[in-house]
């Protein structure tokens, strides 16, 4: 469905980096879900460039809810949020010179030159602001059900953060932290690393780690809509993500079954596993353990160092040094996007399984009688 | 859509391991595509357990085309293939004892005990035989357009195969080889490694590498239906796959932009990149370079070593040693499944972009006049 | 989605009239739904040609459940039913001569001559046997929730049946009757009318009327998935249906709002309407009144009278007298198809609204705790 | 998909009558399609209340394109149009008293009282302004391919317009006429009839007739996505439409096959039919003849005459006289909505069949080489 995702709860994104606005429509939400503008703003603030290691493009991200909210709560009909583009500098972009590892050339092959190329157009990371605004509604909705989602930078260059240990505590701390690492030290080191890289006109990649805790058991489908399928589908929509692994992921390669099978145990009447190498998913379906996954994020393709490339309009070889205003690393700003897009997948999977009204309590009297 | 996948070309899987038959419906294929039973059988033979390192369950995999083929060619209406289950030994399975890292318990949470648990039921790897049968039709269809797909075992335990070097040659060699490695030596070593592991009652994981060459440029969608999204969605449907990465994937984490950006070059009028760290996809859209991805495959959960677990019917802790007939590693047999499921995604993406009739030549006279 | 329909519960049809088998896959059913082969056979018997006014083609319709049922109940995974074609007489059909008002020529324009043309191929009414088999599972499932569906012939030629008066009684009587009219007299007259028409080598059309009673309130979507949209989408899939109207339908044209608005009333605490001109649907959503709709059914295109037509292979004008074995009217046999396809839509709409488990009672303990 | 419709080209609607704006996202359009604001305004003007027989609510309908258009042409990425609501008088509406034949009560059952009830909220006919704006882009796109769509009032009360005779001439005349009837006299009579009805505080229904000419042959799917299914699905989304019939429709009921089969004929090398009782569709697929269908439109439910009803909040019987600003008949204003929604279905069906680029000429060089 191109720019729409979801079965019971469906999200449609639109907009271009230097167009009038970007935005998102979310359809299929239960009615009566509280919409707190402060929380939306809070989530957007986590994605917003703010420090020396982020792009100098500063957008106020003033979101605007056009439909689907009445008296502070969702109506159950499509909820539309737009975020006007204010700080656009289109003169930074000329058409035809392919920025290496950007979508410019692939977009030309698809759209025949009609694409809005300014600032990457519809391929810009700016589109993800709409996703984060949706997260500002869905994350608290899930929290009300006891489901929490948190993402931190597991790795950036040669610096590695601690993995999740006390899930709930770590997720709460990440929510309140202004840099998404579990270890404070590590945050400072990553900031420095990115800063250094930036000074050299270069960029750097990283790995994020995400946990979803409190997930209901028995959610997901055995074959094409496994939870892994749904999550990876949504995650790979985010520009810059080039790998997704669940639980032990690529480390399963040299593991033995006896080392990495997750043994079950009943404790206080509840069934869980002793380890969680499968990241909370067996056979595509949640087993009640934390859902755990990592995303590989490539270095921002925009670097000011000179690179060889082509002018695909003139059909000739040339060179480029990407000016514009860009992030030397998106690894920090991608964390709230991952939280939000995961919230969309989890909410949709729950709604598909239990009906949308699972998010409401005690409200469905009329319809079931 | 649970057990259905695809937009223009849609595949539906059905069946249980010990039921009457498993099968697949493929809808949206162009009419007039040749269907060669020998090629279907050839692809199935690559997935079939055959040697000492595979499960002792030996199924003839006699497929049967029920609809959608007339006079050796597709009709354009739904094509149904069934593969009867013949060699079932249901007495191997008792209900209630969760096999660690298998779907048993998650399935119970979803299906409330009504699931056909015998041999893993609908969660069995046997479902993928239907996918491979479809590959037996789609792979030659794509080859006729100049698109080839090949998968080899990149890693198993501590043994590593050579990466693709001469893509076309390597893919052709893999097609004709009875063990999916690029280096012959490596195949022998992996066989031995698996064999040893098996003797200890254990199992082992691995990593596969896949290349799609000859892909049209400009295919895929910028946001939710990026080629990475579509491919990973389908790949994570396959039981045992726990990670998917494109191009450099998780190795992007400690790379600099200047090291891994793919510079463009025009050569003989054709635009390509000097390196291919992005695996042929920029901004979710094919750029004409080989599409490259790796899959992490976990060790088969079925091991005969004793493990702790629960009986979820009796709600008590217990132990299990999985008997039945199982593979100590699925890394070999998963390769044709990956080829086939990739063919489904690629064919669907092409049909969505160019119309189904792209697969036919000179046949669409009536409808366009 | 071509041959697949439904959101939460999705049905895929396949097969050709003179191929090996026709069939259907239904995915998304709750687990634990009883599957009674006698009821499936009962529904199929209502569609089966049986009397002098039906086609002389007599198929035993021996259905076969390939997957999705275990110990007499649904598993929750895809349920596949096939019905082998046994009594095929392919020599009755030659290719190229377009039967007027049949799909032959349109199919040629779409499938370029690769279509299986024998007996209408995938366009044959025989495909609907699979739909009726699904009805044999869904109709009792809905009945268990208090939802009943019944269809009768409202009109055939100049003969008109009584409309529904006592819904429950009428629907029960229709279920147990071997001719789908409310008035017994009318059934005899219609049989005679069809019989006469048949003797002249001609065919005749009609109108059916359907009621769905016991429907939950608040089901359907305000815009693109209004209940009318969903029902009409499914109904127009059935070959021969050329009109669908809800409630007063086309009679609204010369009505005044004051004459046909349905006034509300509370009676014994329940809100209903005094009249039901809107057929139980307001704004696309069920209001708790019986859902009422009529379908216009065209005369069977196959008539033995000589007609002008073309040979689209030779590109020349010619004549045709359709031999083969055909019904002079499908108005009787279409009734169980309408019941079954309506059951699919209603079940899907309920599952989308309340979750699939609404069809199960007291079974979802595991997953929600 | 609730508020989204379409496979290759998908439309999502959003907004409420008295909210901030209504709007629409259209995704999947080919790049390079000219977007002419004058044509959009022209189509909106045809839907706009303008004369004594329309609602006194006068909205300027100032549309605003937020995304998807660059330098006057489509980019190929989601195109978003919003139309702000300016002239809202929310004090006209109080909550709890169900307006007979309106969605108020059904919406309450679905949304539990959280719905934005003002002016019908998301159920308002105002949503269709977004559809008409899309028509302003798609109708000229189709015209460029030789496909034209026109709708006229076939019947209103006891007044009947002439049917289409010279299709192209009639459609062109309707486009340039300010009242959608083929016979001028009839337009005056209908205006008078509606005016009289309005004076009595009442409302009246009608029937529209639509023709799509120049349609490619071989478009549509044999089963669930028959052209009739797709068109009726979209048409029944429009509030007030309660019946859809193709070709002879309900008049097939008392017709004989020999009277209404459409005989084929080759003339100047082109295959067509002598009559068109099937409305251009055989077996769900276009046969090249004009696509013809009628829609039954119910009287506007809002009438100022006193009606019995309930207050569903207080749970008591009461009376209502609907004040507000409403149309005594929507039969005139619904015509451009039907044209536009038909254009969406036709464009989507063509794109699904031939690929989106069918709408572009000579532009797809890059991607196919």
C114 contacts: CB under 8 Å, gap ≥ 6: B31, B32, B70, B73, B74, B75, B76
Q: What is the 3-state secondary structure (H, E, C) of D90-123?
A: HHHCCCCECCCCCCHHHHHHHHCCCCCCHHHHHH
Distance between CA atoms of residues A51 and A179, nearest Å: 10
Q: Which residues of A touch C367 (CB under 8 A)?
A: 216-219, 353-354
User: Of B241, B301, B238, B242, which Cα lies nearest the Cα of B99?
Assistant: B301
Average pLDDT, chain A: 93
pLDDT category of residue C365 using cuts at 50, 70 and 90? very low
Average pLDDT over residues C228-233: 98
| B245 pLDDT above the threshold of 70 | yes
> Tens digits of per-residue pLDDT, A195-233?
999 999 999 999 999 999 999 999 999 999 999 999 999
Instruction: State the pLDDT at residue C189.
Output: 96
pLDDT category of residue C367 using cuts at 50, 70 and 90? very low
CB-based contact C366 A217, cutoff 8 Å: yes
User: Under CATH, which number does the domain D4-358 receive?
Assistant: 3.60.150.10
CB-based contact A122 D70, cutoff 8 Å: no
**A182 neighbors A308 (Cβ within 8 angstroms):** no
Instruction: State the pLDDT at residue A367.
Output: 35
> Tens digits of per-residue pLDDT, B52-78?
777 777 777 899 999 999 999 999 999
| C246 pLDDT above the threshold of 60 | yes
> Tens digits of per-residue pLDDT, C66-85?
999 999 999 999 999 999 99
CA distances from B190 to A244, B58, B151, B327 (A): 26, 22, 15, 14
Average pLDDT, chain B: 93
Chain D residue at shortest CA distance from C128: D223
Burial class (CB in 10 A: 0-12, 13-18, 19+), A52: exposed
Distance between CA atoms of residues A32 and A26, nearest Å: 15
Percentage above 90 pLDDT, chain B: 86
Instruction: State the pLDDT at residue A93.
Output: 66
Residue written as token pair 């268990």: C144
Residue by residue, pLDDT tens for chain D (369 residues) are 799 999 999 999 999 999 999 999 999 999 999 999 999 999 999 999 877 777 777 777 899 999 999 999 999 999 999 999 987 766 656 799 999 999 999 999 999 999 999 989 999 999 999 999 999 999 999 999 999 999 999 999 999 999 999 999 999 999 999 899 999 999 999 999 999 999 999 999 999 999 999 999 999 999 999 999 999 999 999 999 999 999 999 999 999 999 999 999 999 999 999 999 999 999 999 999 999 999 999 999 999 999 999 999 999 999 999 876 778 899 999 999 999 999 999 999 999 988 888 888 644 433 333
CB-based contact B250 A248, cutoff 8 Å: no
Percentage above 90 pLDDT, chain C: 86
Chain C residue at shortest CA distance from A355: C355
Give the residue from A220, A354, A365 with the most C CB atoms within 10 Å of its CB, the best one to mutate: A354
CB nearest B216 (choices: D222, D354, D368):
D368
> Tens digits of per-residue pLDDT, D64-104?
999 999 999 999 999 999 999 987 766 656 799 999 999 99
Q: Which residues of B touch D218 (CB under 8 A)?
A: 366-367
Distance between CA atoms of residues B173 and B165, nearest Å: 12
Q: Which residues of B touch D32 (CB under 8 A)?
A: none
Q: Which residues of C touch A355 (CB under 8 A)?
A: 352-355, 358
Instruction: State the pLDDT at residue D361.
Output: 61
Distance from CA of A314 to the nearest CA of D (A): 14
Instruction: State the pLDDT at residue A369.
Output: 30
Distance from CA of C8 to the nearest CA of B (A): 8
The CATH class that applies to domain B4-368 reads alpha beta
> Tens digits of per-residue pLDDT, C309-343?
999 999 999 999 987 667 899 999 999 999 999 99
Distance between CA atoms of residues B340 and B342, nearest Å: 5
CA distances from A323 to A88, A307, C254, D61 (A): 14, 12, 68, 41
D253 contacts: CB under 8 Å, gap ≥ 6: C155, C156, C157, C205, C206, C207, C296, C297
Average pLDDT over residues C219-242: 97
Percentage above 70 pLDDT, chain B: 95
Q: Which of A80-94, C104-118, C353-367, D271-285 has the lowest mean pLDDT?
A: C353-367
CB-based contact A75 D363, cutoff 8 Å: no
Number of C/D CB contacts below 8 angstroms equals 390
> Helix, strand or coil for residue D212?
strand
Q: Which residues of B touch C90 (CB under 8 A)?
A: none
Distance from CA of B124 to the nearest CA of C (A): 12
User: Of D30, D28, D32, D35, which Cα lies nearest the Cα of D11?
Assistant: D28
Distance from CA of A71 to the nearest CA of B (A): 31
Distance from CA of D245 to the nearest CA of A (A): 29
Chain C residue at shortest CA distance from D292: C242
| C18 pLDDT above the threshold of 80 | yes
Q: Which residues of B touch D215 (CB under 8 A)?
A: none
CB-based contact D224 C287, cutoff 8 Å: no
CB nearest D31 (choices: A19, A32, A114):
A114
Instruction: State the pLDDT at residue C92.
Output: 59
Instruction: State the pLDDT at residue B90.
Output: 63
CA distances from C8 to A7, A225, C350 (A): 8, 12, 9
Q: Which of A66-80, A224-238, C92-106, D128-142 has the lowest mean pLDDT?
A: C92-106
Neighbours of chain A (3+ CB pairs under 8 A): B, C, D
Distance between CA atoms of residues D250 and D256, nearest Å: 13
Q: Which residues of D touch B352 (CB under 8 A)?
A: 8
Residue extents of the structural domains in chain B: 4-368
Instruction: State the pLDDT at residue B368.
Output: 33
CB-based contact D103 C282, cutoff 8 Å: yes
pLDDT category of residue B86 using cuts at 50, 70 and 90? confident
Instruction: State the pLDDT at residue B369.
Output: 30
Residue A367 or B214, more confident: B214
Tokens (6 digits) for C140: 């009792």
**A112 neighbors D366 (Cβ within 8 angstroms):** yes
**A352 neighbors A7 (Cβ within 8 angstroms):** yes
| C89 pLDDT above the threshold of 80 | no
CB nearest A256 (choices: B108, B155, B202):
B202
Distance between CA atoms of residues A320 and C295, nearest Å: 65
Instruction: State the pLDDT at residue B92.
Output: 59
CA distances from A313 to A140, A341, D200 (A): 48, 36, 67
Instruction: State the pLDDT at residue C287.
Output: 98
Query: Helices A334-354 and A37-47, interaxial angle, to 10°?
Result: 130
Instruction: State the pLDDT at residue D50.
Output: 78
CB-based contact D261 C101, cutoff 8 Å: yes
| C274 pLDDT above the threshold of 70 | yes
| B363 pLDDT above the threshold of 70 | no
User: Of C205, C180, C210, C171, which Cα lies nearest the Cα of C293?
Assistant: C210
Distance between CA atoms of residues C274 and C295, nearest Å: 24
**B130 neighbors B81 (Cβ within 8 angstroms):** yes
pLDDT category of residue C253 using cuts at 50, 70 and 90? very high
Name residue D14's beta-bridge partners. Answer: D23
**D289 neighbors D274 (Cβ within 8 angstroms):** no
CB-based contact C367 A8, cutoff 8 Å: no
Q: Which residues of D touch A75 (CB under 8 A)?
A: 16, 111, 114-116, 121-122
DSSP secondary structure string, C95-119?
A: SSBPPTTSSHHHHHHHHTT-S--GG
User: Of B69, B47, B30, B34, which Cα lies nearest the Cα of B340?
Assistant: B47
User: Of B27, D218, D274, which Cα lies nearest the Cα of C104?
Assistant: D218
| C297 pLDDT above the threshold of 60 | yes
Q: Which residues of C touch D201 (CB under 8 A)?
A: 258
pLDDT category of residue B93 using cuts at 50, 70 and 90? low
CB-based contact C16 B77, cutoff 8 Å: yes
Q: Which residues of D touch C15 (CB under 8 A)?
A: none
Name residue C80's beta-bridge partners. Answer: C25, C67
Tokens (6 digits) for B133: 């049968």
Average pLDDT over residues C98-120: 94
* Angle, CA B175 vertex, CA B174 and CA B181 arms, to 5°: 20
C41 contacts: CB under 8 Å, gap ≥ 6: C63, C136
Tokens (6 digits) for A118: 């300014």
Instruction: State the pLDDT at residue B364.
Output: 41
């Amino acid at each position: 469905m191109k720019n729409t995702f979801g079965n019971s709860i469906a999200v449609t994104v639109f907009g271009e980096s230097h167009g009038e606005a970007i935005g998102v429509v979310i359809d299929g939400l239960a009615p009566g879900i509280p919409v707190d503008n402060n929380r939306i703003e809070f989530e957007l603030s986590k994605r917003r460039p703010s420090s020396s290691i982020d792009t100098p493009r500063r957008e106020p991200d003033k979101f605007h809810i056009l439909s689907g909210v009445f008296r502070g709560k969702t109506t159950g009909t499509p909820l539309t949020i737009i975020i006007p583009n204010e700080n656009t500098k289109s003169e930074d972009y000329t058409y035809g010179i392919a920025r290496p590892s950007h979508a410019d050339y692939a977009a030309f092959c698809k759209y025949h030159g009609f694409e809005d190329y300014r600032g990457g157009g519809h391929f810009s990371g700016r589109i993800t602001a709409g996703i984060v605004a949706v997260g500002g509604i869905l994350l608290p909705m899930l929290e009300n059900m006891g489901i929490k989602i948190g993402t931190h930078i597991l790795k950036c260059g040669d610096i590695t953060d601690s993995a999740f240990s006390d899930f709930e505590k770590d997720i709460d701390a990440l929510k309140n932290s202004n840099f998404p690492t579990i270890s404070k030290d590590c945050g400072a080191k990553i900031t420095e690393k990115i800063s250094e890289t930036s000074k050299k006109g270069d960029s750097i990649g990283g790995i994020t780690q995400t946990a979803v805790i409190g997930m209901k058991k028995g959610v997901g489908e055995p074959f094409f809509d496994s939870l892994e399928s749904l999550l990876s589908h949504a995650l790979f929509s985010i520009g810059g993500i080039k790998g997704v692994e669940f639980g032990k992921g690529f480390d399963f390669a040299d593991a033995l079954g006896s080392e990495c099978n997750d043994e079950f145990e009943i404790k206080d009447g509840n069934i869980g596993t002793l380890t969680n190498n499968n990241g909370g998913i067996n056979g595509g379906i949640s087993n009640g353990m934390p859902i755990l996954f990592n995303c590989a994020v490539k270095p921002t393709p925009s670097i000011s160092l000179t690179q060889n490339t082509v002018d695909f309009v003139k059909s000739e070889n040339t060179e480029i040094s990407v000016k514009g205003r860009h992030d030397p690393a998106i690894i920090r700003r991608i964390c709230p996007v991952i939280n939000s897009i995961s919230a969309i997948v989890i909410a949709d999977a729950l709604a598909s399984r239990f009906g949308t009204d699972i998010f409401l309590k005690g409200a469905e009297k009329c319809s079931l009688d």
